[in-house]
Amino acid sequence: MSPSPSLPLEGLAAVVTGAGRGLGRAEALELARLGASVVVNDFGQPGRDGSGEASAAPAEEVAAEIRAEGGQAVAHTGDVADHDQARTLIGLAVDTYGKLDILVNNAGILRDRMIFSMSEGEWDSVIRVHLKGHFNTTHFASVHWRERSKATGGPVYGRIVNTSSEAFLAGSAGQPNYAAAKGGIVGLTTSTALALAKYGVTANAICPRARTRMTEDVFQGFQEPTDGRLDPLAPEHVSPLVGYLASPAAGRVNGQLLVVHGGMVAIVERPKVAAKFDAAKEAFTFEELDELISPYYAARPPAETFAAAEVLGLKREKA
């Protein structure tokens, strides 16, 4: 029996990581609203830098919220950056609901620092949670789908929605670890999309812009509406796209990167060649490269004139 139009995810089982607060919470609630049974994962550390004691409360509270609305949800409080705990997370979905259909990777931390001030630990911790965390859950979900496909002799239903960032697209001077991790997630997504397509699985990434615990200082200059309108930076502007990408309607969307915020979705094209130069002989000389490439860049504004806010189309409103 196919799901009803009002419940496009009915009968499907989902895992959402980092779902105790902010974007992950909104995404878990949206998937449940659309009919999915959800495993709500959150390690529960209070600090956005991954500091503080882990707590079951955030994940448990969101799962309870879903159940109070008539949905199905269980909590998982493990660390997705730990390979074995990620295995347990995917196994919990399969054991509880009989299968896994949707994986939304959202868990992350921030440890911002300029590249010349960043410590090895600050680099490693952010790469570990964001990039390794995405890999861990994706690995075990892909094993599940591949085994199911082999058992049935055909494609299965599988959706992966990963979380990248505009920090990867436009750069972020004080976040070399975060920008690198988010760029790596895009590479992981496109590779996964190619590898799993034959099994019926799609993988896409989003670059969300939202006011959350992790971005509270980034958006300090952007006022929240006082007239009752939904905040353009509310996570609820992002979660419907996640619900769509997780649904059967998005079956032809694969290996894509989408920017989403405030009632806007932009599909990002893969990088294009901006200019091409050919050597006059078998190989370039230094002088020839200087003659060809230097004038090209001399005609363009220097890179430092591009502030991140301008690149991303952000405008600060005066208080």
DSSP annotation of 304: G
CA neighbor of 202 nearest in space, from 243, 142, 161, 254: 254
Query: What are the backbone angles phi and psi of residue 139, rounded to the nearest 5°?
Result: -60, -50
Task: Pick left, alpha or beta for residue 137 (phi over 0 → left; psi -120 to 50 → alpha; otherwise beta).
Answer: alpha
CA neighbor of 132 nearest in space, from 169, 105, 111, 159: 105
CB neighbourhood size of 175 (10 A): 24
- Residues involved in catalysis: 165, 178, 182
Residue 220 identity: Q
**Strand ranges in the chain using DSSP code E only, listed in sequence order:** 13-16, 37-41, 73-76, 102-104, 158-163, 201-208, 257-261, 264-268
CB neighbourhood size of 204 (10 A): 24
What is the Cα–Cα distance from 295 to 37, expressed in whole angstroms?
Answer: 58
3-state secondary structure of 102: strand
